[in-house]
Structure 1
Amino acid sequence: MKRNPNFPFAPSKSPIFYGWIVMFAGTIGVIASIPGQTMGVSVFTNYLIDSLQLSRDALSSAYLIGTVTSSLFLTHAGKIYDKFGARFTAMIAAFGLGITLILFSYSHLLSESISSSINIGFSTSSFVLISLLFFFLRFSGQGVLTLASRNMVMKWFDQRRGLANSLSSAIQSFGFAVSPLFIALIITRFDWSTAYQALAILTVLFIIFAYFLYRDNPEECGLIPDGKMIETKVESLPTFQSKKQYTLKEARSTWVFWVFALSLCFNAFFITGFTFNIISIFESCGFSEQKALSVFIPVSIISIITAVTGNIFSDYIRIQKLLFVYLIGCFLASLGIAILESEIGYYILIVGNGIMGGLYSVLVAISWPRFFGRKHLGAISGLSMSLVVFSSAFAPLFFSRIHTLTNSYSLAGYVGIACAILLFVFSVKAKNPQLQ
């Protein structure tokens, strides 16, 4: 398939460096993936349970099945991204996401039709159907659309990659913070089925948006990363340019890939488990629902500050140093869960989550092009994304089972502490392969 980077217009004729337009477009792409993200799913959870006549455990199990299955295909999706580029990949992913959202809006009717057609129980048909829909939702939304949008932005910058990602992360954080309220407002004004259809319409509008603004890389548009102005200033900045373009096979044979990938998996696992069970976690420690939900506000503030600061510093320091700070955040977030019954635990949890979430957005975007180059970025980040999605699938059930067995979530925190310490020890030797 031809990419036609100069159609419907040539980015080289833009009055400003087109990378900044790409940064904005890619950021909107990540925000458009919210219906496939954990927070997008969680808003509809109770409505799906009631309409599909499923227990909470059954819905969580369907979510697990769909998410794990989707993770198995993301590495291949990354290779498709490398071949066909960001515009084509993002448009196809958004189209799949839109169709899936429409099917979700009619899931109760589809389940009833399946149940009567093949003479099985309504709950059984609901479980099978929703597992399949979760697969498409997580694969197209959280997986492919996020991968294509984030990688596209990183390809357009080199020396200013951190600055671009800092602006993108700040906008993303705001979008992710207000999106649950926006979705809840639609549900309150209409109903959950109409809300899914409204999100599908927005996804169609995004496809048009992506067609006009998405471009895979500056070279095919007759431009260079960072724009022409940076070319005259590059000597004043540290050299982090990729000398070798690693293949997927070469990248996954390095120590640094697995240390960073598993560290990113920690965030996905912890945040997913925490978000799914947040009210129960706080209630088990004697806190109110309002106290539980209010935690996101200070966490978001710290996360935005950390993300902007971390992205700016990433242009001047080695990523390994940011990984150290990130893992300290992982340790504090876990410690906060472990000792949440005490007042200090609440504040430790907030600080830890803010640091971990903010630097996650830095590491997940900056690390792979810095370490392994841009040529096979889709395949390498695709493998990383598949591991992240895979790990997030098990978190809700893990947290839930710990509470069932111990009547507390403290053990989940202590397990997190042990993992954070282990990853910190491993990260000492996680050097940038480009410097070796």
Structure 2
Amino acid sequence: MKRNPNFPFAPKKFPFFYGWMSMIAGTIGILCSIPGQTMGVSVFTNYLMESLQLSRDALSSAYLIGTVGSSLFLTYAGKIYDKYGARFTAIMAALCLAATLFLFSYSDTVSSSLSQFSGVKYSIVSFTFISLLFFFLRFSGQGVLTLASRNLIMKWFDQRRGLANSISSAFQSFGFAVSPLFIALIISQFDWSIAYQILAFLTLIFVLFAYIFYRDNPEECGLIPDGKIIAPKQKSNPTFQTKKQYTLKEARSTWVFWVFALGLSFNAFFITGFTFNVISIFESCGYSEQKALSVFVPASIISIITAIAGNILSDYIRMQKILIVFLLGCLLASLGVAILEYEIGFYVLILGNGVMGGLFSVIAAITWPRFYGRENLGAISGLSMSLIVFSSAIAPLFFSRIFTLTNSYSLAGYIGIVVVVLLLILSVKAKNPQLQ
């Protein structure tokens, strides 16, 4: 498939450096993935349970099956991205996401029809069908569309990568914070099935947007990253110079890849498990539902500030230092859950969630092109995304089982502390492989 980077217009003739337009386009693409993200799914949970006649455990299991299944194909999707570019990959992912959202709106009707036709119990058919839908939802939304859009931004910048990602991350954090309210408003004005159809229609509009504005990299458009040659921020520091273009096999053979990837995976694991069970977590400690939901607003504010600061600093300092601060945020978040029964745990939880949430976008976007180059960025970031998606899949059930066995979520927090401490120890020598 030809990329045709100069159709419908040539980025070289754009009134300003096209990398900034790519940053805007990529940010919009990531926001369009929200229906496939955890916060997008959670708004519909109760409606799906009622319409499909599934218990919370059954719906969580369907989510687990679909999400784990999707994670197995993301590395291959990254290779497709490397071959065909951001525009093709994003369009295919968005089309799949739109179709899946449309099918979600008729999931109860389709399940009923299949049940009557096959003679199989309705709840069994609905469980099977929704598991399949979760597979395509998570694969196209959280996985491929996010991967293509995030890498789009990174490929257009080098020395200004942190600045571009800081601007993008601020809008992402705000969009992710308000999206549950936006979706809930649509549901209240119409109903849950119409809301899914509206989200599908908005995703189709994005398909046209991606076709017009997505371009994979500056070189194929006759441009260079940053729009011009910019001297490294620290000329004496080789960690800011990409000398070797790593293959996927070479990247995954470096243990530093696994330190960073597992750090990102822990974030996905903790945030997903916490978000899915947030009301139950707070109620188990004697707090109200209002108190539980109030944690997200101050955490998002801290997240935005941390993301902007972290991205800007990433142009000047090593990613290893950002990783350590990120893991300290993970440690605080885990500690907050462990001691939430005490008032101070509430504030520790907010601070930890804010710091790790803000720095997640920094590490996930900037680490891989800086450490391993841009040539095989899709495949390398695809493997990382597979681990992230897999971790997010098993988290809700893990938290739920901890509560079932102990009547408390504290143990989940303490286990998180142990894991993060191990990652902190490993991060001490997590140096950029370009130094080798």
Q: Indicate the TM-score class for this superposition, using the shorter chain for normalisation.
A: over 0.9
Corresponding residue for 1:77?
77
| Cα separation, 2, equivalents of 1:268 and 1:118 | 38
Corresponding residue for 1:210?
210
Is structure 2 residue 404 aligned with structure 1 residue 404? yes
Gaps of 5+ in 2: none
Is structure 2 residue 223 aligned with structure 1 residue 219? no
Corresponding residue for 1:161?
161
Corresponding residue for 2:327?
327
2:225 aligns to what SS in structure 1? Answer: coil
| Cα separation, 2, equivalents of 1:232 and 1:262 | 32
Corresponding residue for 1:36?
36
Confirm or deny: 8 A CA contact 1:80 1:89 kept in the other structure. Answer: yes
> Aligned ranges for residues 257-336 of structure 1 at < 5 Å?
257-336=257-336
Confirm or deny: 8 A CA contact 1:259 1:430 kept in the other structure. Answer: yes
Tell me how far 1:15 sits from its aligned partner: 1.2
Corresponding residue for 1:107?
107
**Aligned letter for 2:83?**
K
| Cα separation, 1, equivalents of 2:276 and 2:230 | 49
1:364 aligns to what SS in structure 2? Answer: helix
User: What is the root-mean-square deviation of aligned Cα atoms in Å?
Assistant: 0.9
> Aligned ranges for residues 348-427 of structure 1 at < 5 Å?
348-427=348-427
Q: Deviations over 1:154-211 (max 9, x none)?
A: 0000001000000000000111111111110110000000000000000000000000
Tell me how far 1:430 sits from its aligned partner: 1.1
Gaps of 5+ in 1: none
Percent identical residues: 77
| Cα separation, 1, equivalents of 2:254 and 2:231 | 32
Confirm or deny: 8 A CA contact 2:115 2:125 kept in the other structure. Answer: yes
Q: Deviations over 1:40-87 (max 9, x none)?
A: 000000000000000000000000000000000000000000000000
Tell me how far 1:241 sits from its aligned partner: 2.5
**Aligned letter for 2:328?**
I
Total equivalences in the alignment: 434
| Cα separation, 2, equivalents of 1:12 and 1:236 | 29
Is structure 2 residue 170 aligned with structure 1 residue 179? no
Tell me how far 1:435 sits from its aligned partner: 1.4
Give the ranges of 4+ consecutive aligned residues of structure 1 lying more than 6 Å apart after TM superposition: none
Corresponding residue for 1:148?
148
| Cα separation, 1, equivalents of 2:366 and 2:391 | 21
1:83 aligns to what SS in structure 2? Answer: helix
| Cα separation, 2, equivalents of 1:255 and 1:48 | 41
Corresponding residue for 2:53?
53
| Cα separation, 1, equivalents of 2:411 and 2:369 | 36
**Aligned letter for 1:69?**
G
Confirm or deny: 8 A CA contact 1:402 1:408 kept in the other structure. Answer: yes
Confirm or deny: 8 A CA contact 1:333 1:348 kept in the other structure. Answer: yes
C-alpha change, 1:187 and 1:6, in structure 2 (3 Å) is same
| Cα separation, 1, equivalents of 2:90 and 2:204 | 12
Confirm or deny: 8 A CA contact 1:158 1:241 kept in the other structure. Answer: no
| Cα separation, 2, equivalents of 1:232 and 1:285 | 53
* TM-score normalized with structure 1 length: 0.99
Q: Deviations over 1:313-348 (max 9, x none)?
A: 000000000000001001000000000000110000
* TM-score normalized with structure 2 length: 0.99
C-alpha change, 1:163 and 1:400, in structure 2 (3 Å) is same
| Cα separation, 2, equivalents of 1:351 and 1:82 | 37
| Cα separation, 2, equivalents of 1:236 and 1:319 | 14
